[in-house]
A and B are shown apart, each in its own frame.
Chain A
Amino acid sequence: MHIPDGYLSPSTCAVTYAVALPFWFVATRRLKRDLNTKLVPLVSVVSAFCFVIMMFNLPLPGGTTGHAVGMGIAAILLGPWAAIVAISLALLIQALFFGDGGLTTFGANSLNMAIIGSFAAYGIYTLLAGRSAVTSWRRVIAAGIAGYLAINVAALAAAIEFGVQPMLFHDATGAPLYAPYPLSVAVPAMLGGHLAFAGLAEMLLTAGIVAFLQRSDPSLLERRLPADGRAGFSVRGLALIVGILMVASPLGLLAAGTAWGEWGAEDFADPAARAAIAGASLNAPPPAAVPQGLQHLSSVWTAPFPDYAPAFLKSEALGYMLSAFMGVGLIILAYLALSALFSLGRPRNGQHA
């Protein structure tokens, strides 16, 4: 899971740093605001705890051992924002002084484990634990599932970062310059190990610590660092994430071929498209002619920007981005229109029928 130097291209590293930077900024600002002088000592010791946790080797069913990352327990006990800072610091120390993970890939490792992992663990735990009592078994099970899924989500993110390397960065002979395996190899290889071993270690440790704290000091499961008292998604936070996703939308151009089942009527007449359809359908050849229903219905509506490519734009990437902006804008407009419609019949605050 700790990506070493040399596996990701400089541009991938730069992108992961750029994505991680706003999260680090917001997390430290929130912690600084709420903890003030406590920020340095408290986050430092928790970060040291996260570091040490990563060195606990757990015996797993089947005779092997594995170590957890601690993202699950950090997010549950501290909340996602404090966990982001604590785990990122632990990862930086590991990269700088212990050679676990690279310095150029520190942004990617933090993005996967500290940011994606923490939010995934916190979200899943909150969802599954609900309003159950602090000492209930439901909390232990929720913590275990949150740890297991969070580390696998983080592994999936790392696998995607590995998997896009050979598509984007290769020399004239086709030799990959960085991680050499495509998504079809990187994703199953990464997830296999994490679903079978590392995920179990994270699950057992997270659930085990929650169960231990239920017996020894349940108050720790109730309180959270003040910065996470309002750990729900704020409108600004959501807007930031949506903004990043919109700017990153041209990544969709990297996908080769067409999505299965999303073929157009014209694809059935194009030999290259027919070959792609057959290749994606276990070599079953597509029908010789366009299916009648598809032919009829495909002419009912013509999209203004077919394939996310407005006719007036030459750049595919810009077309993708513009489509993303327009799509999000239309959704917001639809939401505002529906909100206005539903609020028409409701009395306003302070007004009584």
Chain B
Amino acid sequence: MARRLAYALQAEDIAAEPGYLQRRDPRFKTAAMLVLIVSVAWAHQLASVWSFVLLGAVLAVASRVPLRRMALQAVLPVLAFTGLIALPALFLVPGPALATLPLTGWVVTEPGLRSGLLLVGRAEASAGLALLLVLTTAWPQVIRALGALGVPAPITAMLTMTQRYIFSFLQSAADMQEAHHSRIMAPMTGAARRRMIASAAGVLFTRSLDMGQNVHEAMIARGYRGQSLSLATWRSRPADWLLLGCAVALLAAVIGLHL
């Protein structure tokens, strides 16, 4: 929980840097990143899939996003998760043999290796591009950009509030855990820990309903009548159009040329 809170705070710092993606209009940047992620999903060739991984790295450098941060938050977790899932495919997918592992005698097949590299490459590229979007854009702006792209207003309003209360609840949960730890004298048994966690979740649910009621009354008191208005005014520049145009051209190339 603490790691997630720390990541979120660091993201705000990176979003304030004067990098390439930070200077782009959030609407165009969000649309461009979504188009690029769809392009990755559509790509069929190994070279094109891994080119998107490279593109993500280039965009990260241009946007002053530390590559270490990209590695810690996207590359390594994806490699650990998807790599583990893709590993058996090297031996299980039938096809011409490429190599035989010493000692075990397991045969690595050509389609198996190709399939594994495609899966890992796609997951790496998509995770990297999605991470770049949220690291270079203040989170409320991402949600507002989704609204500009056609997501209904009640949904974006709920997303904004959900995102805000997540951190409030994470803090509450961490406080409850700390308070509990400070009152026990010995390690708890598994059953006792399960009871403690279930009770904490129950308390959190009760609090969330109370908070929802209080927030609603406060909103009504301030004149809320069920509609949300945004004061944000964005002005697009040629560079924003260029970014989106390049992303759409890449998608068209991937689909049209079967890349």
Cβ contacts B162-198/A at 8 Å (1 or 0 each): 1111101110010000000000000000100111011
Cβ-based interface call for A227 (8 A): no
Q: How far is the CA of A185 from the CA of B87 in the complex (A)?
A: 14
Binds B, one of A202-210, A255-263, A279-287: A202-210
- Interface pair A220/B199, CB less than 8 Å apart: no
Binds B, one of A36-44, A228-236, A295-303, A311-319: A36-44
- Residues in A neighbouring B142, C-beta threshold 8 A: 96-97
- Given A77-B205, A174-B95, A208-B195, decide whether A48 and B165 contact each other with a Cβ distance below 8 A: yes
Residue of A43, A49, A56, A207 contacting most chain B CB atoms (<10 Å): A49
- Interface pair B197/A48, CB less than 8 Å apart: no
- Interface pair A45/B93, CB less than 8 Å apart: no
- Interface pair A39/B154, CB less than 8 Å apart: yes
- Residues in B neighbouring A207, C-beta threshold 8 A: 198
How close is A53's CB to chain B, nearest CB, in angstroms? 6
How close is B225's CB to chain A, nearest CB, in angstroms? 7
- Interface pair B161/A97, CB less than 8 Å apart: no
- Interface pair A5/B197, CB less than 8 Å apart: no
- Interface pair A175/B165, CB less than 8 Å apart: no
A77 closest partner in B (C-beta): B205
Cβ contacts A98-111/B at 8 Å (1 or 0 each): 11001110000000
Q: How far is the CA of A276 from the CA of B184 in the complex (A)?
A: 64
- Interface pair A204/B166, CB less than 8 Å apart: no
How close is A117's CB to chain B, nearest CB, in angstroms? 17
| Interface size class, chain A | 35 or more
- Interface pair A180/B166, CB less than 8 Å apart: no
Instruction: Tell me the chain A residues, 26-65 only, with Cβ under 8 Å from chain B.
Output: 28, 32, 36-49, 51-53, 55-56, 58-61
- Residues in A neighbouring B198, C-beta threshold 8 A: 204-205, 207-209, 211-212
Q: How far is the CA of A175 from the CA of B164 in the complex (A)?
A: 44
Binds A, one of B20-28, B124-132, B239-247: B124-132
- Interface pair A97/B163, CB less than 8 Å apart: yes
Task: State the interface size on chain B (CB cutoff 8 A).
Answer: 86
Binds B, one of A87-95, A150-158, A265-273, A329-337: A87-95
- Residues in A neighbouring B215, C-beta threshold 8 A: 41, 45
- Residues in A neighbouring B67, C-beta threshold 8 A: none
Complex partner residue of A173 from B1, B37, B111, B116, CB under 8 angstroms: B111
Binds B, one of A6-14, A120-128, A246-254, A343-351: A6-14
- Count of chain A to chain B residue pairs whose CB atoms are closer than 8 Å in the complex: 242
How close is A159's CB to chain B, nearest CB, in angstroms? 13
Q: How far is the CA of A129 from the CA of B111 in the complex (A)?
A: 50
Binds A, one of B54-62, B73-81, B99-107, B230-238: B73-81
Cβ-based interface call for A217 (8 A): yes
Q: How far is the CA of A241 from the CA of B96 in the complex (A)?
A: 44
Complex partner residue of B190 from A37, A61, A175, A178, CB under 8 angstroms: A61
- Interface pair A99/B94, CB less than 8 Å apart: no
How close is A23's CB to chain B, nearest CB, in angstroms? 14
Complex partner residue of A45 from B86, B114, B130, B212, CB under 8 angstroms: B212
Complex partner residue of B1 from A47, A55, A211, CB under 8 angstroms: A55
Complex partner residue of B169 from A39, A48, A61, CB under 8 angstroms: A48
Residue of A6, A36, A49 contacting most chain B CB atoms (<10 Å): A6
> Knowing that A89-B162, A208-B202 are A-B contacts, what are 8 other residue pairs whose CB atoms are under 8 Å apart, sorted by A's residue number?
A10-B41, A44-B160, A49-B204, A173-B110, A176-B93, A204-B198, A205-B201, A216-B202
Query: Residues of A at under 8 Å CB distance from B?
Result: 4-10, 13, 28, 32, 36-49, 51-53, 55-56, 58-61, 73, 77, 85, 89-90, 92-93, 95-99, 102-104, 166, 170-171, 173-181, 185, 204-205, 207-209, 211-213, 216-217, 220
Query: Residues of B at under 8 Å CB distance from A?
Result: 1, 4, 8, 34, 37-38, 40-42, 44, 73-74, 77-78, 81-82, 86, 88-89, 92-95, 110-112, 114-116, 118-119, 121-123, 125-127, 130-131, 134, 139, 142, 152, 154-155, 157-166, 168-170, 173, 190, 193-195, 197-206, 208-209, 211-213, 215-216, 219-220, 224-226, 228
Give me 23 A-to-B residue pairs in the complex whose CB atoms sit less than 8 angstroms apart, sorted by A's number.
A4-B81, A7-B119, A9-B41, A28-B152, A44-B157, A44-B162, A49-B169, A53-B201, A58-B193, A59-B190, A93-B166, A95-B130, A97-B8, A104-B37, A104-B126, A171-B114, A173-B95, A180-B119, A181-B89, A181-B92, A208-B201, A212-B199, A216-B203
